[in-house]
């Protein structure tokens, strides 16, 4: 958990609070964080196959690959799905305090 929080903190997604009641809080409004951006930051590529996972390394067989169009469509579906969900979609304020339970 600490390694994930560290990555999120370095990217400016969360900030730490010290002392009693300390912990971490979102740096921005929950509506501005997509699940896709968080997953990409913490997990790297969400591509279903390795050949789509890197923009710099191209597969030498891509021009002959019969399944590449299928994988590209799946990759787009996955990306669109997770980019279409924000943290605000599944959190609720606790007791009107502005704090959120996830």
Segment 36-71, tens digit of pLDDT = 999 999 998 899 988 888 776 778 888 899 999 999
> Residue with structure tokens 């305090």?
97
Q: How many CB atoms lie within 10 A of CB 67?
A: 9
User: Domains in the chain, start-ordered, CATH in brackets?
Assistant: 2-101 (1.10.10.10)
CB < 8 Å & 24+ apart, contacts of 82-85 = 82/34, 82/35, 82/36, 82/39, 82/46, 83/34, 83/35, 83/36, 83/37, 84/34, 84/36, 85/34, 85/35, 85/36
Segment 10-37, tens digit of pLDDT = 999 999 888 887 888 899 999 999 999 9
């Amino acid at each position: 958990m600490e390694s994930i929080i560290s990555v999120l903190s370095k990217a400016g997604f969360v900030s730490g609070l010290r002392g009693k009641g300390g912990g971490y809080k979102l740096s921005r409004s929950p509506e501005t964080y997509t699940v896709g951006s968080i997953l990409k930051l913490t997990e790297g590529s969400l591509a279903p196959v390795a050949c789509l996972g890197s923009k710099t390394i191209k597969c030498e067989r891509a021009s002959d690959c019969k399944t590449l169009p299928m994988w590209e469509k799946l990759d787009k579906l996955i990306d669109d799905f997770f980019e279409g969900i924000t943290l605000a979609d599944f959190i609720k304020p606790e007791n009107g305090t502005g704090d959120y339970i996830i």
